[in-house]
Amino acid sequence: MRKSIAVVVGLAILAATQAAAGAPVTEDAKREVVSKAATALADGYVYPDLGRKAGAAIQKRLDDGGYAGIADTGAFALRLTEDLQAVTHDKHMRVMDPQGQPPPGMPVGPPPRSRAGFIRVARLQGNVGYIELGGFPTPGMFKDAADAAMLAVAGTDALIIDMRGNGGGSPDAVSYLCSFFFDPAKPTHLNDLIWRERGTETFRTETFSTVAVPTHYLGKPVVLITGPRTFSGGEEFTNDLKVQKRAVVVGESTGGGANPGGTQPVGAGLFLFVPGGRAVNPITKTSWEGVGVSPDVPTSPQAAFAAGYKAALEAAKPSPVREAVKAKLAAGGAEPNAWVEASLQAPPSGPSPRSEPALRAIIADAVAGKVNYATMTPDFIKSAQPQFETAHIDIIALGALKAVMFEHVDPFGADVFRTEFEHGALEWTFFVNAEGKVAVAFYRKLPGGAA
């Protein structure tokens, strides 16, 4: 099982545990999952009556024998998801088997490598910036990468941000990236999240506005390319810029998931994503839940990049070079590769020199029964603090640390290490930002390990 020292909660479906793919599920396990899921929905779903109704629906289906023929955890998770969504019509509502097959419609295979979500930062012909953005990880990871990416494209005459594979993430990271496109002298109110106080029927409002950033991209056109896999926080970013008339949206309507929340274990190695909040745009007083964000320039998937590139070229100040590029583009669209003039930022290929020393310090502190908050980012502390005691117990039980071995860089640019102890092994996903602060740290127990 994976234990998080940091659990990212935002506008994305994120899992933080491990279960065997295709593992059999017993009738007792099904009863446990349904009971825990129904309680979690009654206590935490943003629409209390609907949460109780959804929980009652899966309990009735269980009592009527509707899950009796399901043999493994993945199939059970998929069936529960279908039953819950049939009641709530909430696209974030999902029961997840983290090591099972991805749900229908989700991409298969590892996600592309990125630097905290920035898959590619380039300059296209005609001096058009191009950013392919795969997600919005925790701000402790995201800010450094966003600062570098926006500085790299600062001298371009127009900017394309390709959001077609952006599945969302942290709403604070969304606000941070939005901030590059607005006048820093006047904060812009971007979005509100209305959160249910767990176990009650009272609500609180969390407001998101632009914040201070080191550079700005003002007075120049911005084009967002979207599709059905643009989801959750990716949709919020798109909606924020579209409503404020700061970007033109090209492509297809987005996925239609606007209710943020977090995951909870419900037994049998499964996790339930419970949407505990809902988004409200301060201008439209609505959200994109169930309908998505519609494009200003609708296109087919095959034509989306060419249409977005054309829109950026036409919106930029006229120049002979851009006219020539438009003529070439009209003769054959293709995807970005054919038009890249310079790569401005690449994903990391090896470990950060800051990671291993910081990881060793975290482990040493846990063994000593202490936590050094001065070495951590504020968002990491906020999300991880409730779990420090559990981590402390887990790590002490493993005995003396024998070895720390770098394994690989994960798709979002975090370093993955194997740590060998006297009585077992842990695999860590770990990220330290440019200020030397730990922004992400979570582990899972590995079979075997040092004797």
Amino acid at 162: D
Give the DSSP letter of residue 136: B
Q: Please choose, from the candidates 220, 242, 232, 223, the residue with its C-alpha nearest in 3D space to the C-alpha of residue 304.
A: 223
CB 407 within 8 A of CB 417: yes
For the chain, give the number of residues: 451
Tokens at 432, concatenated: 């330290």
CB under 8 Å to 47, separation ≥6 — which residues? Answer: 88
Q: How far, rounded to the nearest angstrom, does the alpha carbon of residue 301 sit from its chain's CA centroid?
A: 23
E strand or H helix at 390 = helix 388-397
Strand pairing of 438-446 and 2-4? antiparallel
Residue 5: what pLDDT? Answer: 39
**Residue indicated by tokens 């993430």:** 169
The rounded distance, in Å, linking the Cα atoms of 260 and 18 is: 22
The rounded distance, in Å, linking the Cα atoms of 436 and 382 is: 18
State the Rg of the chain over Cα: 23
Core vs surface per residue 383-403: b (16+ CB within 10 A) or e? bbeebbeebbebbeebeebee
Core vs surface per residue 405-426: b (16+ CB within 10 A) or e? ebeebbbbbbbbbebbbeebbb
CB 128 within 8 A of CB 158: yes
User: Nearest-5° angle of CA 13, CA 366, CA 348?
Assistant: 50
Residue 157: what pLDDT? Answer: 98
Core vs surface per residue 300-329: b (16+ CB within 10 A) or e? eeeebbbbbbbbbbeebeeeeebeebeeeb
Residue 16: what pLDDT? Answer: 32
Strands (E), 395-437: 401-409, 415-421, 424-432
The rounded distance, in Å, linking the Cα atoms of 260 and 277 is: 5
pLDDT, one tens digit for every residue, the chain (451 residues) = 344 333 333 333 233 333 334 589 999 999 999 999 999 999 999 999 999 999 999 999 999 999 999 999 999 999 999 999 999 999 999 999 976 665 555 555 677 899 999 999 999 999 999 999 999 999 999 999 999 999 999 999 999 999 999 999 999 999 999 999 999 999 999 999 999 999 999 999 999 999 999 999 999 999 999 999 999 999 999 999 999 999 999 999 999 999 999 999 999 999 999 999 999 999 999 999 999 999 999 999 999 999 999 999 999 999 999 999 999 998 887 889 999 999 999 899 899 999 999 999 999 999 998 889 999 999 888 878 777 777 888 899 999 999 999 999 999 999 999 999 999 999 999 999 999 999 999 888 887 655 4
For 265, list phi and psi in degrees, rounded to 5: -70, 140
Give the DSSP letter of residue 350: S
For 437, list phi and psi in degrees, rounded to 5: -95, 140
Tokens at 411, concatenated: 């798709």
